[in-house]
Amino acid sequence: MNTLQSKDEADTLPVLSGEVAVTMPELPAQLVINTVQQFKAISDPTRSRILGIIQNQPATAKQIADRLGASPGAIGHHLHVLETAGLAKIVARRLVRGIVANYYTRTARIFKYDLPREVTGDTSINLDIMARAYEELAEADVNKEADVYQCSSFPHIRLSSERARYYSERLMTLVEDILHETADPGGEVYGIFVTMFKAPAYLQGPGTSTPSESAVADEEQD
C-alpha cells in the first residue's frame, strides 16, 4: 500500500479554525519498511524521535521543534524527508495566527523491516531498535513521577524449536493486541519493547552435564 500523500491531497483537507481540536486519526497497525529511501529516512536519530512524537498525537513542525529543542525550519526539513518516504503525512490543517499550520502523524502505528543486507550494511535492525528503546528508557528514568507500571525481565531458558516458535508467536500476538488497542486521548504514552533471540554461544552447550576426566582429577586433588 502506498501511503505517500501528495501535496494536492493535503491541500484538499479543510482548514480548521483555531478553536477546533485536532484529534488523532486511526492509523494502520503496520507499515513495512522495504526501500532504501525509507531506511535512510528512519535511521536518522532526529527523525526517529519525530516519528515517536507523532505516533500518538498530531503535531506541527513548531510543536515538535519546541519539544526537541530544535528550530522549526530543521524539523520542517525532517518532516519533508519522512513525508517523501511515505513515513509521515499531513492529517489536518488549522489556522494559527493567520497562518495555516500542517499537523502530521506517522503513516502506521509501528514499522516493520523487510530489508536485505545489501541495504542495511553493517547496521543491525534489531540492535538499532534496542538502542532506541534504551535511550527512551534512560530519558524516562529521569522523570520525577513514579512509574508504577514499569516492569522488565530478562530470562533465559532452553527450549525446543517448537516451544521457541510457540512463545515467539505469543509475543507477537501480544504486540498485535497492543497495536489494536483503542488509544485513550486522556491517557499517557507507554513504551513497550519486545524481543526474543537465540542466546550467544557462551550460553549454549549441552543440556546435561557429566564430569570429565579432568574435572574428576581436579576434585580428587581438592
pLDDT tens digit string along 142-159? 877 788 888 999 999 999
pLDDT of residue 146: 81
Stretch 112-120: mean pLDDT, rounded? 82
Strand partners, 99: 96
Side chain identity at 115, as an amino acid letter? L
Q: How far apart are CA 50 and CA 104, in angstroms?
A: 10
Mean per-residue pLDDT over the chain, rounded: 86
Best CA proximity match to 40, nearest among 123, 162, 143? 123
Radius of gyration in angstroms for the set of CA atoms belonging to the chain, rounded to a whole number = 23
Q: How far is CA 59 from CA 28, 175, 192, 201, in A?
A: 18, 25, 22, 45
- Tell me what percent of the residues of the chain surpass a pLDDT of 90: 47
What predicted TM-score, i.e. pTM, was given to this entire model? 0.75
Q: How far apart are CA 49 and CA 4, in angstroms?
A: 20
CB 96, CB 161: distance < 8 Å: no
